[in-house]
Structure 1
Amino acid sequence: MYTEPKFLAMKEPSKFKRLAELLRVIILQLGDDVPRARREFETYTEWLHLPESERLTGKNQAQMIDLYKTFRTRAGLGFERDVYLEQEPGDREVANEKPIQFAVLVHNLRSAFNVGSIIRSTDCFGLEGVHLSGYSCSPDHVTVKSAARGCQEWIPIKRWDSPFDCIKWHKENGYEIIALETGEDIPSINNVKWPEKGLIVLGNEELGIAPEIMAEATMKVTIPMAGRKASMNVAGAFAIMAFCLRSNAK
C-alpha cells in the first residue's frame, strides 16, 4: 500500500489504474487478498475525496463492475473480461457435446498460466477432467483463473497427493496412460490408433515427464515439429492433442 503523499503524487491514470486493480481483486474474490484490497481501496478513495457513488459502500456486484469500468476508462485502459463473472460473450449455459473419456494429469507444472490454459482447453475440446499433483497451481490461483476464463468453475478438477495414485486409479478403471513427450523414437499423433479412453500425462516445462512417471505409460505419442525447435509450449501441445482426440471421437 502506498503512503498518502506518494499516492497523491502519482499521475491521474496511475491512481485510477490502482483503484481498478483493487476492485478486480474484490469482484473476483481472489483469496486472502480481498480484505486487504478493500481496506486499501477505501483508504485511497478517502484521500481522493471521491463521491459516495465511486466508493464501495452499498455497492452490489453489478455496480462494482460498473465502477471498475469507470476507473479503467479513466486510466486509459480497456476492461478485462474475467471481471465479468469470468464469462465471455458467447459462452453457453451447457456444452455443445458430451465429454469424451479422456482426462489430463498436470504434474509439477511451474506456470500457473499453463495450468489455466490446460483447464480451458479441456473444456473447449470436451475432455472429462483435469488432475493436479506436485506443485502445479490450484484452480483458485489468480493467474490460473485468468487463463482458464471461468472454465475452472465447471470442469471437474481433482488434486492428488501423488501422481502415481492418479495413474493407478485410471489403470484400474481401464484407461490407457498416454505420455505426451518429445523424441524421435516416439510415434507421431498422426500415426496412432487412439484408445476408447485415456489419461494424458504432461511433462514439466523444462524437464519433461519424469522417468519414473514415464515408466507407467502404456502409450507414448509426440507432436512432430516442422521448424527448428524441438518442442513447444506444454499448454499448446496439450491443445493440439485434445483437438486430435475430439476429432477422432466423431
Structure 2
Amino acid sequence: MSAENTNQNHDDLLDELLPDSARDLLISRVIDGRASTSDWDRFRALASREPEIWCELAETQEQHEAVRCELAGAIAAADQIDLPVGPIDDTHTRERLGMVGKWGGWALAAALLLAWSLGYPMLPAQGGSGNGTQTAGLPVGGLGGIGLTEAEPEQAFEQYMSAGQKAGRVIAEMPEQVVVETRPMPDGSIEVMYLRQVIERRVIDQAYRQVRDDAGNTIAVPVRFEPRTNNAY
C-alpha cells in the first residue's frame, strides 16, 4: 500500500470520527502548501457541497498571516533582551509548570487565544503614569475606600469580584477550590497551593482554535460555536 493510500485511509477515518478536525486539517494543509492530490480532490468535493469553505479558507489564511506577523514581532523584541549569564536553578519553576501542565494544558491554550482576541487585556498598560495604569481590569486608584496598591491580597480580590459583578463581567467564584500542592513547613504548619476559579463573561468578535498541520506547526483557525453550557453554576 502506497503512502498516499495510507494517508487517504487515515483521512477517511478522521472524516468519519472527527469531521470538524478533518476539515481544519485539510484547510491547514492547503494553507501550508502541503496539500496532496487527494487533499485537493477532497477539498474540491467539499467545496462543491459547501461553497462557503472558500471564504473559510481565505479567513484562515488571513489569520495565519496575522499570527505569523505578531509572532515575528514578539521574537524580534525578545532577541533584543540580554538574558542573565551563568547557571540558573530553575528546578522549582519547572516543577510548578509540570504540575500546571497536568491539569491546565487546555486552559492555558484557551487563555492564550482569549488574550489574543481581546488585545491582551491581562497585561498592564505600558508607559503611563501610576494613576492611569490598569492591572487585570482594575484601576490602581481606590475601590471601596481602599487603594488597590494598599490593599491586602484578599481585599484586592474582593474588590475585583465586587467591581466585576457590578460591571457584569464577573458572575461568581466556584465554591470548590482545586488543591495543586501541599507542603509541610518547619514550624509544623502546612503550605497549601490551590486554584481559585472565577466564572467571568466576555463578548468577543471571533474565537479561534489551535490545530497542528502536517509539519507540526500550530495555526489558529476560526471556530463556529453553538450555544452550550456545562451547568457549572
TM interval, short-chain normalised: under 0.3
| TM-score normalised according to structure 2 size | 0.27
